[in-house]
Amino acid sequence: MTVPETRPRQIDPRGPRFGAAITSVLLAVDIVLALTGQRLAALILLGVIAVLFAIGASGAPFHPWSLIFARLVRPRLAPPAETEDAAPPRFAQLVGLVITGIGFVLGLVGVHAAVPISAALAFIAAFLNASIGFCLGCQLYGLLVRLRSKPVSGPSQA
């Protein structure tokens, strides 16, 4: 009996870049709010961004940026030249969730500097993806896959 080969879920690579652009704007607003003393608004916005990262990391088909891209943007574009595996961008969303989640939790317990710092870290990654297509989380995913697939060498037998 042969097991059918399954191809990983493929996505239009322009979708994550579109989402990263919107996320960059939200994170920039969050940083400005935090640095202008509007701590509660910055904390709430960071919490909303963390929830959006959680939806993206889950692979759920109802992420707001995905829906906007699929319904309003992609129909106006030519088909993508190529597609990409959905796993690396989903992992990147998980990394964003961890970064913003830590900032949110620390902000809740009174570490106010954590909110703009975590928003700034997430902003750098989102902006790089949106502006030049360099996905830090995707690169980290590739590195982890390569490290995981390397055989562990034991003591040599002479």
pLDDT tens column, 39-97 = 999 999 999 999 999 999 998 888 999 999 999 999 999 999 999 999 999 999 999 99
pTM (whole model) above 0.85: yes
In a domain, 77, yes or no: no
In a domain, 155, yes or no: no
Task: Using the predicted structure, report yes or no on whether residue 152 has a pLDDT greater than 90.
Answer: no
Residue 138 corresponds to which tokens in the numbers above?
């995707």
- pLDDT for 8 equals 78
- pLDDT for 156 equals 56
| Region 121-136 average pLDDT | 97
User: What is the rounded CA–CA span in Å between residue 68 and residue 64?
Assistant: 6
In a domain, 154, yes or no: no
32 sits in which H/E element: helix 14-35
Task: Using the predicted structure, report yes or no on whether residue 155 has a pLDDT greater than 90.
Answer: no
Residue 75, C-beta contacts closer than 8 angstroms, at least 6 positions apart:
none
Range of the domain at 20: 10-64+84-144
| Counted domains in the chain | 1
In a domain, 24, yes or no: yes
